[in-house]
A and B are shown apart, each in its own frame.
Chain A
């Protein structure tokens, strides 16, 4: 590039036009951004880890609730579901399909 006069003229024009653009003062937010810069990938990993922790906590809670329900002398989840507190806790801990599958499995054991 630069051998041909036409290309040299075009390059000179474009570079002069860019050089003539005066950048404005950077925004005040620049300092804040500089202070809190963090890699997006790492942030995503942290978010994923946090979501996983929450899932484990929910599963643990569900196990505890189930053990209480079963320890009440009932082998069927259906019976335990008559207790509003247990039923509510279970609904919060499991998806409807998981709950139905659990119920079916426990009914089968009666």
Chain B
């Protein structure tokens, strides 16, 4: 899931407005879905995640010349998204819909996802695995869910996740080992 390299983003951002606009459109297409997944993992409801993803992208575009290509663009963007999510959650504190609504609206999307494995038997196995994965991810608390989302869903490394979440790398490694241990135990219980 590696997209446009950071150096290319920084370079194109410094060219003329038309080039920048084309860049923004590419980044929008590439990162909007990833941001929604990340923000949803942080605890925002589906609608809030989509709104916050749009806000984060706009904010990132407005500050595109501040982007430092020494770091992954996704990390920078996720950090902007995380701040927006925190504000939204704070503002919505007490409203049940924000925290309890997460994940519920994704089922249709999961069912629509194309399977890379053709054939009815494989499809059935995929469906079982997907159901297990969905149950597992939905039961994690928001912090662990965000870590799992970035590690497994976006192939991010521990240092990158730590920067995106504003947490120490050691904490991310520790939580990740807990997530893996729990994942293995639940998988064993369900498939053993």
Residues on A lying within 8 angstroms of B by beta carbon are 1, 4-7, 9-24, 26-27, 29-31, 33-35, 37-42
Interface of B (DSSP majority class)? helix
Q: Pick the residue among A9, A21, A29, A41 that contacts B37 (CB under 8 A).
A: A21
Residues of A within 8 Å of B184, CB to CB, are: 4, 6
Is the beta-carbon distance between A41 and B66 smaller than 8 angstroms? yes
* A34 and B154 alpha carbons, distance in the complex (Å): 27
Q: Is the CB of B13 closer than 8 A to any CB of chain A?
A: yes
Q: Contact check, A20 vs B24: say whether CB atoms are below 8 A apart.
A: no
Q: A11-B153, A34-B24, A39-B66 are in contact. Are A21 and B129 (CB under 8 A)?
A: no
> Which chain A residue has the least Cβ–Cβ distance from B149?
A14
B: residues with CB less than 8 A from A are: 1, 13, 17-18, 20-21, 23-25, 28-29, 32-34, 36-37, 50, 54, 58, 61-66, 106, 109-110, 112-116, 126, 129-130, 132-134, 136-137, 148-149, 151-155, 180, 183-184, 186-187, 191
Q: Are B148 and A10 in contact (CB under 8 A)?
A: yes
Query: Distance (Å) between the CB of A63 and the closest chain B CB?
Result: 39
> Which residues from chain B contact A15 at a C-beta distance below 8 Å?
1, 152-153
